[in-house]
Chains A and B, each alone.
Chain A
Amino acid sequence: MRAAVLLFPGSNADIEMVQTLRDVMGMATEVVWHRDRALPTGTDLVAIPGGFSYGDYLRCGAISASSPIIAAIREHAERGGFVIGVCNGFQILTETKLLPGALTRNAHLRFECRDIYVRVESEGPFSTRVGDVLRLPIAHAEGCYFADETTLAQIEDKVALRYCTQNGEVTPDANPNGSVQNIAGIYGGPERNVLGLMPHPERMSETLHGGRDGRQLFEAVSRAITTRSTAA
Chain B
Amino acid sequence: MKATVYVRLKAEVLDPQGDAVRRALGTMGFDDIKNVRIGKLIELELGNAGSGDESSVRSALEKAANELLANPVIEDYEITFGE
Contacts and interface: CB of A to CB of B under 8 A. Distances in A.
A binds B: yes
A146 interface: yes
17 contacts: A58-B69, A59-B71, A65-B68, A66-B68, A94-B73, A95-B71, A100-B73, A102-B73, A102-B74, A105-B17, A107-B14, A107-B16, A109-B16, A146-B14, A146-B73, A178-B14, A178-B16
B20 to A, nearest CB: 6
Given A58-B69, A144-B14, A147-B73, 20 more contacts: A59-B71, A62-B68, A65-B68, A94-B73, A95-B71, A101-B73, A102-B71, A102-B73, A102-B74, A104-B14, A104-B74, A105-B16, A105-B17, A106-B16, A107-B14, A107-B16, A109-B16, A109-B17, A146-B73, A148-B12
B28 interface: no
A65 B16 CA distance: 25
Interface string B51-83: 000000000000000011101011000000000
Nearest to A148: B12
A108 interface: yes
Contacts of B14: 104, 107, 144, 146, 178
A151 B13 CA distance: 14
Interface of B: 12-14, 16-17, 20, 67-69, 71, 73-74
Contacts of A105: 16-17
Contacts of B67: 66
A104 B13 contact: yes
Nearest to A107: B16
Contacts of B13: 104, 146
Contacts of B73: 94, 100-102, 146-148, 151
Contacts of A109: 16-17, 20
Contacts of A66: 67-68
Contacts of B71: 59, 62, 95, 102
A95 B17 CA distance: 21
Contacts of B69: 58
Contacts of B17: 105, 109
Contacts of B68: 58, 62, 65-66
A144 B12 CA distance: 14
Interface string A73-94: 0000000000000000000001
Contacts of B12: 148
Nearest to B73: A102
Interface in A99-118: 100-102, 104-109
A109 B69 CA distance: 23
Contacts of A101: 73
Contacts of B74: 102, 104, 146
Nearest to A103: B74
Contacts of A94: 73
Nearest to B74: A102
Nearest to A109: B16
